[in-house]
Structure 1
């Protein structure tokens, strides 16, 4: 558990592929002006982290909401609800479909205007031109991104990622760079204009959230940003997916 800025804590956890490779996962804790707290995403906290969270949140009673931002990140939702049962539980439409027995709120977090429901301390954005859920369940590109201006922290799952490879793979060009998730091509909506809408969304996000100073990503990376660094990150990431966007335009217009 690490404090990234005023009223924002990043929490890192384990996620092992095939029981071996630990790619990591995350959730974040945000304190609102009201004194209440919100979790971004769910994770089963170890005893030490849970004790620290309880110390901050009046034994957990001040946790007012849990906001699950990635439709395919569902492993820890039940534990999080059981640990903080009084908190309102938000998720995407797929969360409700996959875990129908949990008391989900009626408004999905990909809904336009979701920020108005949660409060002015957090901003949310979903990639335009893409499908949040595809028929192919291996496509995990789209998620709801969250920004906490007070701490200058962006919390994002998969949509932006940074692959940190062990030596000697760390010598490869893609190791260590921030990029859009490689499933973007399959996530783009199969219709004319989707590639342009995605590009415009990304540019707008880089501009609107340009003052961010921290970028915390699932699965295992936190990056400190220089002034206007997020806009630069977005620009470079868009440059690398230009062939994907061009191919989509050739196919759909």
Structure 2
């Protein structure tokens, strides 16, 4: 567990593909204006992090809700729900379908009405122009981005990635940069205007969340940003996918 602000903590965990390649995962803990807590995403944390989490939250009694924001991140939901049984369990529609044995709240987090319940503490953004749950379940480009208002820190899974070099060669390479998910082309809706909708969304969050000091990204890293770094890197990431967007425009209008 790493504390990045007096009201924001991030947990980095292990997630292995085929039990070999560790691409990592995350969850975050935020303190609300009322002094209680919200958990962003689910992870089966180790003993040390479990002790820290329960210590901060009076054994979990101060956690109001677990909010799962990526439709394909479902593996650890059961473990965290068992650890925090009194917390409201909120996810996407796919969470309710895939882990139906849990007691999910009726509202889903991709719905603005559900997001509005947490508006005092959190801002949300869902990328425009994407299939939130594509038919190809290997495509994980869409998720609900979350920004914690007091700290201005962004928590994001997959939609935005932080490309960090391996530690052995870190000193030889440029600093990590934010990039959009590599399967973006497959995630765009197959309809006219989807590429422009996505580009406009990216420009919008670049401007509206311009003062973001840090981004916590799943499968990669938490990255401190210089002043203006959020806007600069989001627009740079958009430029990097312009060929993908142009291809979609040519095929779908």
TM-score (ref. length: structure 2): 0.95
List alignment gaps of at least 5 residues for structure 2.
none
- Pairing 1:1-253 to 2, within 5 Å after superposition: 1-166=1-166, 176-253=176-253
CA deviation string 1:146-205 (max 9, x = no partner): 001211210000001123344898799999332100110000000011011111111001
In the alignment, is the contact (CA less than 8 A) between 1:163 and 1:174 conserved in 2?
no
**Structure 1: distance between partners of 2:82 and 2:181:** 31
In the alignment, is the contact (CA less than 8 A) between 1:163 and 1:176 conserved in 2?
yes
**Structure 1: distance between partners of 2:87 and 2:171:** 45
Please identify, of 18-27 and 35-44, the stretch whose mean Cα deviation from structure 2 is larger.
Answer: 18-27
**Structure 2: distance between partners of 1:61 and 1:184:** 39
List alignment gaps of at least 5 residues for structure 1.
none
Shift of 1:121: 1.0
**Structure 1: distance between partners of 2:145 and 2:106:** 20
In the alignment, is the contact (CA less than 8 A) between 1:2 and 1:11 conserved in 2?
yes
TM-score (ref. length: structure 1): 0.95
CA deviation string 1:19-39 (max 9, x = no partner): 122111000000101111100
Superposition CA RMSD, Å: 1.9
**Structure 2: distance between partners of 1:172 and 1:180:** 23
**Structure 1: distance between partners of 2:17 and 2:4:** 27
Partner SS state of residue 223, structure 1: strand
